[in-house]
Amino acid sequence: MAGEPKMARAVGNALHKNPDPEHIPCFRVVNSKGELSGAFAFGGENEQARRLMADGVEVVNGKVDLKKYGI
């Protein structure tokens, strides 16, 4: 969706270097299959899912239904 389908590593690097994660919502980034990041990201297992659900995004079995959100 960012316009560069072969730039996954660049996206990951940008997320890793996020200077202000409290105000730049990188937890909203999922992969092209709708899968969430691993347990190490965002402060522990299920933290990304918790934050997404707090934003009103449905997470089922560690995935977001991208079609449901028009992606």
Q: Which residues are catalytically annotated?
A: 26
> What is the model's pTM?
0.80
Is 36 part of any domain?
A: yes
In DSSP terms, which residues pair with 35 in a beta bridge? 63
Is 1 part of any domain?
A: no
Is 3 part of any domain?
A: no
Is 2 part of any domain?
A: no
- Dihedral pair phi/psi, residue 48, rounded to 5°: -65, -45
Q: How confident is the model at residue 50 (pLDDT cuts 50, 70, 90)?
A: very high
Domain that holds residue 40: 8-69
Is 18 part of any domain?
A: yes
Is 37 part of any domain?
A: yes
Is 41 part of any domain?
A: yes
Structural domain count of the chain: 1
Is 65 part of any domain?
A: yes
Cα–Cα distance for residue pair 64/43, rounded to 1 Å: 19
Residue 52 has a pLDDT of 95
pLDDT, averaged across the chain: 87
